[in-house]
């Protein structure tokens, strides 16, 4: 047990070191851009994982919450001239409140009924972005979104105009989120969510307030998606309805499933892998859905717990083999 904990700590230290050092290795801007997108996708996958992986409620509205955060932040900074550092938390809160509003009547639904209702909500939000042209400019999108306001640290001034500065900004947010996420899933709230996911009736008999914890997970995951939307808007500097479609929700779902639902490492592995796969498959755009289907088939058939689950099983076997030897 002690050896396992040490190995985990070494693994975390190596991952953190690699993440911090990546922009300093001299890669082209293109690869740094993919790295930034990977960090954003990790945040999105972690948010959906809280809803589906821990609370057991499969949602296809995640791109809608992503878009709500992005549009809220963009409109506040563009039209009301708010600071990004104030607009971004507001975008996260608005996305969380939207989740509460849709969750109160729909989270009582089970299985495919909730999935369908969440997909319907996502499509409604996309149509609002598309047709409310006096506010969102419709299909033309919102260009010229301001970058995050500069920060003066004394020895250096961060303007967030470069990909490197945005990379480290999003990485810092991710580190904070991971610390909070780890503490949440290992707290009483996390145990309650897992109990609901594993056995709804048994959790109810134990006195767990099912509706409260489901709405809490739904709002928390949506707020994280909204915060990611704010970071995305500040980085890309342009948003349009085409980004926040049901296809994006499916992409995030695939990242979570392939990496491993109900784990912290799983969404990280899945998000990084799928983001790089999406970029390499651009030349095979017409075959992307076929490749996705085959990939999902292989994962569900041979790795039902995702890559993280498979790696965990291999590690346990290796440890058990050493003990026997």
Could you tell me the pLDDT band of residue 300, with boundaries at 50, 70 and 90? confident
pLDDT for res 247: 87
pLDDT for res 5: 59
Residues 6+ apart with CB under 8 A from 78: 142, 144, 145, 146
Bridge partners (DSSP) listed for residue 151: 158
Residue 221 has pLDDT above 80, yes or no: yes
Token representation of residue 52: 């589906």
- CB of 215 closer than 8 Å to CB of 104: yes
pLDDT for res 170: 97
pLDDT for res 309: 73
Residue 319 has pLDDT above 70, yes or no: no
What is the average pLDDT value for the chain, to the nearest integer?
89
Could you tell me the pLDDT band of residue 43, with boundaries at 50, 70 and 90? very high
User: Structure pTM?
Assistant: 0.92
Token representation of residue 149: 């306001």
Could you tell me the pLDDT band of residue 306, with boundaries at 50, 70 and 90? confident
**Per-residue model confidence as pLDDT tens digits over 171-186:** 999 999 999 999 999 9
Q: How far apart are CA 208 and CA 185, in angstroms?
A: 16
**Per-residue model confidence as pLDDT tens digits over 52-80:** 999 999 999 999 999 999 999 999 999 99
- CB of 107 closer than 8 Å to CB of 114: yes
Give 2-324's CATH code, choosing from 3.40.50, 1.10.3470, 1.10.490, 1.10.1060. 1.10.3470
Residue pointed to by tokens 């319907």: 120
Q: How far apart are CA 173 and CA 231, in angstroms?
A: 9
Range among 109-123, 217-231, 275-289 with highest mean pLDDT value: 217-231
């Amino acid at each position: 047990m002690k050896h396992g904990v040490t190995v985990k700590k070494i693994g975390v230290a190596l991952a953190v070191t690699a993440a911090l050092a990546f922009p300093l290795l001299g890669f082209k801007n293109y690869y740094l851009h993919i790295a930034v997108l990977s960090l954003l996708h990790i945040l999105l996958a972690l948010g959906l994982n809280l809803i589906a992986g821990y609370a057991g409620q499969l949602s296809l509205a995640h791109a809608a919450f992503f878009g709500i955060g992005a549009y809220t932040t963009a409109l506040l900074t563009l039209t009301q001239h708010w600071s990004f550092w104030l607009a971004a938390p507001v975008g996260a809160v608005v996305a969380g409140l939207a989740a509460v509003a849709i969750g109160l009547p729909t989270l009582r639904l089970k299985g495919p009924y909730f999935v369908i209702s969440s997909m319907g909500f996502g499509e409604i939000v996309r149509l609002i972005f598309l047709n409310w042209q006096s506010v969102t400019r419709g299909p033309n999108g919102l260009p010229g979104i301001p970058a995050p306001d500069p920060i003066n640290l004394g020895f250096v001034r961060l303007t967030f105009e470069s990909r490197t500065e945005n990379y480290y900004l999003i990485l810092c947010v991710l580190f904070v989120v991971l610390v909070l996420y780890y503490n949440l899933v290992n707290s009483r709230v996390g145990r309650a969510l897992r109990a609901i996911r594993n056995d709804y009736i048994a959790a109810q008999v134990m006195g767990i307030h099912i509706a409260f914890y489901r709405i809490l997970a739904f709002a928390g995951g949506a707020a994280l998606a909204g915060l990611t939307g704010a970071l995305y808007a500040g980085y890309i500097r342009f948003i349009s309805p085409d980004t926040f479609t049901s296809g994006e929700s499916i992409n995030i779902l695939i990242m979570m499933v392939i990496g491993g639902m109900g784990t912290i490492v799983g969404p990280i592995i899945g998000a990084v892998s799928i983001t790089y796969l999406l970029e390499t498959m651009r030349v095979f755009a017409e075959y992307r859905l076929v490749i996705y289907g085959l990939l999902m088939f292989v994962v569900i058939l041979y790795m039902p717990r995702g890559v993280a689950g498979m790696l965990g099983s291999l590690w346990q076997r290796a440890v058990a083999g050493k003990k026997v030897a």
